[in-house]
Structure 1
Amino acid sequence: MTNEEIKRLVDEVKEEVVGWRRHLHAHPELSFQEEKTAQFVYEKLQSFGNLELSRPTKTSVMARLIGEKPGRVVAIRADMDALPIQEENDFEFVSKNPGVMHACGHDGHTAMLLGTAKILTRLRDRIQGEVRFLFQHAEELYPGGAEEMVQAGVLEGVDVVIGTHLWSPLEHGKIGIVYGPMMASPDSFHLRIHGKGGHAGMPHQTVDAIAIGAQVVTNLQYIVSRYVDPIEPLVVSVTQFVAGTTFNVLPGTVEIQGTVRVFDEKLRQSVPQWMERIIKGITEAHGATYEFQYHYGYRPVINDDEVTKVIEETAREVFGDEAVERMKPNTVGEDFSAFLHRVPGSFFYVGAGNKEKGIIYPHHHPRFTIDEDSLEIGVRLFVHAALKLLGQPA
């Protein structure tokens, strides 16, 4: 199909897509609790016709559009969950659920994939192969909905998987492309240091857990600066340091938490060993003991070069060279990696920020929103990319 033909089809559904996004924004649900959201999606898909629908998990939906002839199987994913944030926007479709908000764009992702499904169902007679629409729950909360869907078999027979993220740091009209490593693994750690509490005026009678903890925090930074090749991306961030109750008491215990972000799997396995070696050395040197827990989060998002090239070429053909922006990896996490771990695919950005409209707030902010004109761009790119990927040899 020509660009103009697909644009006409997108124009016919774009108001519906905006309406779906606003409905979802007004009725957000937290991870693993997306029952009404999943039912809304299921009913919309059912109304399109030509789809085989199923519920892989309690709060997810899968729709299969099987073409007239056999061919490749292309999966497209959208996440549906919201965040535990009290919204501070004042538009008419503001969240009706206190303390819950779509502050990351998942309402837009779901609406775009619904629009894509509606258009492609009209084109079933032109489809050679299958398009599989994955409406995923619980992206925001580990262990994540993607892994649950994979375990439920949604990738069986799939040749390629794609997905997108509406991205507020990227201006409306831009498509962000990343080859290879795109997003890091969001691992976490928890450390409890046990010293000996006592009077702050007589520190010699104590084992000062705060002083020991401060040394641990400082020395953990040597992992980034001295253990690892300077061109190898790694983040070790201490985000919580809890100790003490008043000014004249040295506490006996300190609790430290934080996160580790990395792209390389071998390096990822080494970091907790290095951390514990530092922790063990410092605590033993000062007569303290410790408890250390390291939790592996989502895998890194690693895009397949060939699929990413198709996405980039499609974006250039549809929107022009000036719309495409090659972007650097970043160290946020995304459980789309569960799909990419099994099937080649690509995750890309659709610009959703707009300074002229005041759409400037970052993801996970209580005043986050998106430029709704970006929804049309996402739908067009999904439709074009799906048709192009179906046309490639398996």
Structure 2
Amino acid sequence: MGHITQTIYHINPAGIHVLITFFTGFYVGSLLLMFVDRKKRIQAILLSISIIILIIYISKGIIFSNIHWSRNIEWPVSGIFAGFVLGGGLGILRGETEFKWAARNTSVVLAGLIIFVFFNYHLSPYIENNINTTISDVVVVSVFIYFFKEFAMYTFKGPKLFMFGPANSGKSLFMAGCYLEASAPVNPSDDLLELIDELHTIGIDWPKHTTDVKDYHFTYEYGSLFIKNILFKMTDYPGPYLEKINEYMDKKEDKNEKNEEIFVKLAKDVKKSDKLIFIIDGEKYPDFDQMGIIEYIKILKKLPERRIIDSCVVITKCDLFVDEYKDKEKNEDPENDYNSFKKFISNKFVHDIRIQQLLRVVGDISIYPVFYYTKQVDKNKRKPIRDYAGNVFTFGFSELIDDMLK
């Protein structure tokens, strides 16, 4: 047994040369795709150091002897091509930018190398092995391979956001505004795509009110080097559902009652979220009792005490206060000074006792104003301002997203 590796090498040294050069090229080809993948670029940079060290060690004969890169150059080149293709490189032609198989391939190749070196060492006739040393090395190698795979495959995940509000508070339009202003939104739900399409259809002032449950979510890629996936999620629902969420926060599911499934799911989503966004309907000002604030407070009090969840308060339809703000600020447009308008809205709403109670529960947080630019049609109706292509204009969403992700 002690001569197994040497016997293999002496039987066919050319075969060992082919294997080493091919799989090194395979590793390099997979690594190139990881550089293309924005979410794996930091791993690719660190793994490049390992491949450079590996090639140096092989060239000097420290790990494998008699390996010459210049001979039979077709094998490392073939390895690079195979690593590129099997890593999903042909997807570049289809515009793909994520290559999970490339990361998986690098971990497999390095795991194979480590296992090969492990057996080469422990089967050597010059090494005295005992059972304790062997078991210890097996554990170390297994742990290293596991964590290396996790490192190569890891995608940085950001917080899960959950947004909710009472009926007709503008929560679906708020979600649409976040999607429109996010710099790199991906994987939108079908319901959200339909909402965006309806919002940009000329001849329709506003999307119709929700009469059944809608699932609005998308993923926002945030960052440049360390890319994080931020999940924006909101379930739009008819009016009474907000009270039901509160009820099911601490209620056990009755498996015989199918109508309870949506309420149980909503309550679970709230508990699993890292950040809660409470939507306040600016149009209802100053009728604070119609804004759902008391239900928000009840829901917050039922969250697990050890669960740390950030929160923020969003005031929708703040275009209704723009003229008042301009009068106060000598015709200053909110677009020119977001922070000033934000402070103006905060001062306007924070004097209500219910808003103060909410802020005491969630802590010292900011109140964010958002709105769509609108124009008055008649006394009780406004419709969005559009450009020639039917696109709408928003305010405050990009600043809100930036602050939430800091």
Q: Same fold (TM over 0.5)?
A: no
Task: State the TM-score, normalized to the length of structure 2.
Answer: 0.29
In terms of Rg, which structure is larger? 2
Task: State the TM-score, normalized to the length of structure 1.
Answer: 0.30
Structure with more helix by fraction: 2
